[in-house]
Structures are given as C-alpha cells and as structure tokens.
Amino acid sequence: EDQVTQSPEALRLQEGESSSLNCSYTVSGLRGLFWYRQDPGKGPEFLFTLYSAGEEKEKERLKATLTKKESFLHITAPKPEDSATYLCAVQAFHSGGGADGLTFGKGTHLIIQP
Amino acid sequence: KAGVTQTPRYLIKTRGQQVTLSCSPISGHRSVSWYQQTPGQGLQFLFEYFSETQRNKGNFPGRFSGRQFSNSRSEMNVSTLELGDSALYLCASSLVGSGSGTDTQYFGPGTRLTVL
C-alpha cells in the first residue's frame, strides 16, 4: 500500500526565516510526486511535479527536491502570504497499466508571522 | 481559461438521504477524479473517469458512485448518507489522466457536505 508521511504537522516561522518541509513516501513504483498548496476553504493549488530522484524544481521562494525515499519543499525568505497547508502526493503505476489516483499526506500547516 | 468548477459549494443533508455533486473540468481536459477530504483522514481518492468510463477506483463503499458525460462533465452520487460522509468533496481534472504519462491534476474549490 502506498504511504505518504509529511513532517512537521505544523510550523510557525518568522518572516524571512527559511526552512524545509519533508515528505517521506513508500510506493510500489513512483510515477510522479506532487506538491500542492491549500488555503482555508479552497481546493489544492498545484505547485510542482517531480518524476525521478535528483530532480529539482523552483518557483519564486519555493524549491522542491526528490530522492528515492523523500521529497523536500524548501521555503526561502518566506512572506506572510506563503502561509497555507502544503500537501504532498504520490502517484503510482497501476497494476493494470496507467496510474493510480493520488495518495496524499496529511499536510504541513505553515504559518509565517510578520 | 476557466478553472475547475463545482456545484453546489455547500450542502446540508440528513442521514439516509442521497446527494449529487457536479463538476465541470477545465476546457479540453478529459479526465475527472474525485477526492474526499476530512480532518481525520485527509485527502482520499474516490474514483477517476475518462471518456465516460470509470478507470480507477479508491477504497470506498458502493454508496459512492459517479459518472461522466460526453462533454467531460462529471457527477458523483452518495446514497444513504451517513454522518461520517460529512466532508469536503474535491474534483480534479487533467488532460488525459492516468492513461498515459503523468498528468497534473487541477482541483476545483470543492463542495462542503454536512450530514445531520
């Protein structure tokens, strides 16, 4: 069974204080790892897709990296508007071909204080 | 380009009733997936539809069902509602879904269902 564990569950940072969020996963065959951001009362907003170990992607203050067992979301000099819940999800190859639905972690609730 | 839309945004039902939720995918997207989000279990995959056919299914009871129309719009139905069905139901669309390649899923705002 595919599993995704995110840590920490919650993180409070001062504005400008950089940090990293962790996503550990076990999957039979990784097709892709996804990062989403979710604001209260809204649906998840897509951030990144990573496909293979060693891959990195960046967008503004965010950088996502991937190894064979985990992914990190690095946040550099965050601002209050970066406050949100960050969700990690994996998609595995389907036994009958194609891919399974996304398996999500419980998320990291990030608060950036001004 | 308009995003994924879901209607209604909020619903209140009582135990034993049934409910139908609707999802319109991004224009040109042919795959629609449904997820349930609760504080305790997080986001869980319900099912995926592509070309009017269910292609993948999560681990939910048969009370949860869905369908997709020829214009890619999708509906999900929950029959004989239970208190534990109270959740945010999210729809996500992608170009071709799980069939080929790894396809990004874009989520709608969700329908908040409360079962009393």
pLDDT, residue A96, reads 64
Which pLDDT tens digit goes with each residue over B44-57? 999 999 989 998 89
8 Å CB contact between A39 and A87: no
Half-sphere exposure of A19 (CA within 13 A, CB side): 20
CB contact under 8 A, A43 and B43: no
Helix H or strand E segment including A38: strand A30-38
Strand partners, A92: A30
Distance from CA of B82 to the nearest CA of A (A): 22
Instruction: Give the DSSP letter string of B51-104.
Output: TTEEEEE-S--TTEEEEE-TTS-EEEEE-S--GGG-EEEEEEEESSGGGSS---
pLDDT, residue A79, reads 97
Residue A82: what are its φ and ψ, rounded to 5°?
Answer: -80, -5
Which pLDDT tens digit goes with each residue over B5-50? 999 999 999 999 999 999 999 999 999 999 999 999 999 999 999 9
Query: Would you say residue A99 has pLDDT above 90?
Result: no
- Tell me the residues of A at the B interface, defined by beta carbons under 8 Å apart: 31-32, 34, 36, 41-46, 49, 51, 87, 89, 91, 94, 98-107
Indicate the pLDDT class of residue B95, thresholds 50, 70 and 90.
confident
Count residue pairs from A and B with Cβ separation < 8 A: 66
Distance from CA of A113 to the nearest CA of B (A): 24
CB contact under 8 A, B55 and A98: yes
Query: Would you say residue B1 has pLDDT above 80?
Result: no
Contacts of A104 in chain B (CB under 8 A): 35, 42-44
Which pLDDT tens digit goes with each residue over A29-50? 888 999 999 999 899 999 999 9
pLDDT, mean of residues A58-78: 97
8 Å CB contact between A85 and A38: yes
Contacts of B100 in chain A (CB under 8 A): 98
pLDDT, residue B55, reads 87
A contact test, residue of B4, B10, B50, B98 with most A CBs within 10 A: B98
